[in-house]
Structure 1
Amino acid sequence: MSTPLKVTRIGHACQLIEFGEIRVLTDPWFTQTATYYPGEPIHLTVQELGRVDAVVVSHEHYDHCDLDALVTGGFDLDTPLIGPGTVATIARGKGFCDVRAVEAWEATTVAGLTVTATPGRHGVHEVTFIIQAGGRTVFFGGDSLRVPELDTIPERFGHIDLAILPTNGLCVRPANHQQVVMDAEQAAGLTAVLRPTLAVPQHYAFHSGRLGDQIITKSDQDPRHYADAVARIAPEIDVRVVLPGVEVTVS
């Protein structure tokens, strides 16, 4: 019998993934600033999280690495925190005690959980992750662009039960509209290669405020564009657009 696998989107790319009793928090973001708006309700506070067995962080940007919120919210700083070297340095400086630095194709284990960093590319150094426990496998895409190395994941890791991918195609206007996140079509193409049992989009509601959206960032805030693209190119794959707070069980 397969280990139960559930995911609850807290907001943005912050997910609570549960492999049976093992609970993993991804890319924490619990607060808001003048230029970073979640664009949707945040489902839980740090105090409401309960026990977490590991935190995985893809890169150092505030909306994925809100470690100050964890610290001020009384999060257990003995919880293993896993991320690239850039994140590891920040986490140690915030007082996290068990910090695991991993780069692409490196792995670490935590109490029955194996976390492998997979390649990524963004405006700063980023990794994505394969997270495994109890015979279940999850791909977590942070807010990476699609890079060719990700196409090798199925041959390296076998069947993917759950794929969580960014979809908003974020572009930075002052940098000549440089794209730094995969868009709906690119995410759908990767989904077709990964062939997960279930695919869940993330990283789409975020915005920079009315002025920021006009002069700093440009993005696609409608996850249905991703769902429609997957339905067109890989209709056999189940896609769920998940509101914050909705728990989804992966068959």
Structure 2
Amino acid sequence: MTTPLTVTRIAHACQLIEIGDLRILTDPWFTQSAAYHQGEPIAGEVASLGRIDALVVSHEHYDHCDLDALVAGGFDLSTPLFGPGTVTALAEGKGFTSLHTIEAWESATVGDLTVTATPGQHGVHEVTFVIQAGGRAVFFGGDSLRVPELDEIPNRFGKIDLAILPVNGLCIRVANMQQVVMDAEQAAALTAVLNPTVALPHHYAFHSGRLGDQIITRGDRDPRHYTEALARLAPTVATRIVLPGTPVTIP
């Protein structure tokens, strides 16, 4: 019998992945600041999450590592947290007690859950992840650029059931338009290599405010560019664009 697999996007790159009875939260972001806007409703607050069995965090940027919101919301700080050393060092300072530091191609296992850090590249140190339990495998792309090492994932892990990828191609205007996140075409090309059963875009609604979008960042906020590219590059891979709070069940 296939283990049930469901994912619900909370907002941005914050996803609730449910594999059987396991509930895994990724890249938490529950608050906003002057230059960081989700650009979409948040599907619930920290207190409404219910039981979380593991927290997976790709890097320390505020919009992916909103640990203060978790602490303020009464999150259980004994929840196992998986991430690179830059993240676990921050988490230790916030009072988290079950820390699992993993860098690219390193794994940690808690109970039936195995989390492997896979390569990533961003404006700061970042990893991506393959999350495995119950015979299921999920690739979580954080907000990484596409790096060639990610093409090794199918050979290392076999079948990927679900791939969640950033698609907005974020560029930093004040750094000569340096690109720091894969764009829709790059994400679709990576999806073609991963060949998951289902691929979902995320990290596209984010914006920096009216002024910030003019002088700080530029990003593609239309996820249809990803689904259109995917139809060309990997037509057998199913995809959906969903509002926050909408569960997607993976066959």
**What TM-score does the superposition give when structure 1 sets the normalisation length?**
1.00
Q: Following TM superposition, where does structure 1 have runs of at least 4 consecutive aligned residues deviating by more than 4 angstroms?
A: none
Q: How far, CA to CA, are the matches of 2:69 and 2:163 in structure 1?
A: 26
State the Cα deviation string for residues 75-127 of structure 1 (Å, max 9, x = none): 00000011000001000000000011100000001120000000000000000
1:169 aligns with 2:169: yes
Where does residue 60 of structure 1 map in the other structure? 60
1:118 aligns with 2:128: no
Q: How far, CA to CA, are the matches of 1:75 and 1:19 in structure 2?
A: 20
1:86 aligns with 2:61: no
Q: How far, CA to CA, are the matches of 1:111 and 1:221 in structure 2?
A: 38
Where does residue 136 of structure 1 map in the other structure? 136
Structure 1 counterpart of 2:156, one-letter code: R
Where does residue 227 of structure 1 map in the other structure? 227
Cα offset, 1:234, TM superposition: 1.1
Cα offset, 1:9, TM superposition: 0.2
Q: Report the secondary structure of 2:114's partner residue.
A: strand
Superposed counterparts of 1:6-45, under 5 Å: 6-45=6-45
State the Cα deviation string for residues 198-222 of structure 1 (Å, max 9, x = none): 0000000000000000000000000
Q: Which runs of 5+ in 2 are unaligned?
A: none
Cα offset, 1:231, TM superposition: 0.1
Q: How far, CA to CA, are the matches of 1:242 and 1:111 in structure 2?
A: 31
Structure 2 counterpart of 1:54, one-letter code: A
Where does residue 213 of structure 2 map in the other structure? 213
Cα offset, 1:181, TM superposition: 0.1
Structure 1 counterpart of 2:72, one-letter code: T
Structure 2 counterpart of 1:80, one-letter code: P
How many residues are paired up? 251
Where does residue 97 of structure 1 map in the other structure? 97
Q: Report the secondary structure of 2:156's partner residue.
A: helix
1:160 aligns with 2:160: yes
**What TM-score does the superposition give when structure 2 sets the normalisation length?**
1.00
Where does residue 246 of structure 2 map in the other structure? 246
Where does residue 185 of structure 1 map in the other structure? 185
Q: Report the secondary structure of 1:117's partner residue.
A: strand
Cα offset, 1:44, TM superposition: 1.1
Q: How far, CA to CA, are the matches of 2:100 and 2:234 in structure 1?
A: 36
Superposition RMSD on alpha carbons, in Å? Answer: 0.4
Q: How far, CA to CA, are the matches of 1:240 and 1:104 in structure 2?
A: 29
Where does residue 194 of structure 1 map in the other structure? 194
Cα offset, 1:242, TM superposition: 1.6
Q: How far, CA to CA, are the matches of 1:112 and 1:204 in structure 2?
A: 32
Q: Report the secondary structure of 1:69's partner residue.
A: helix
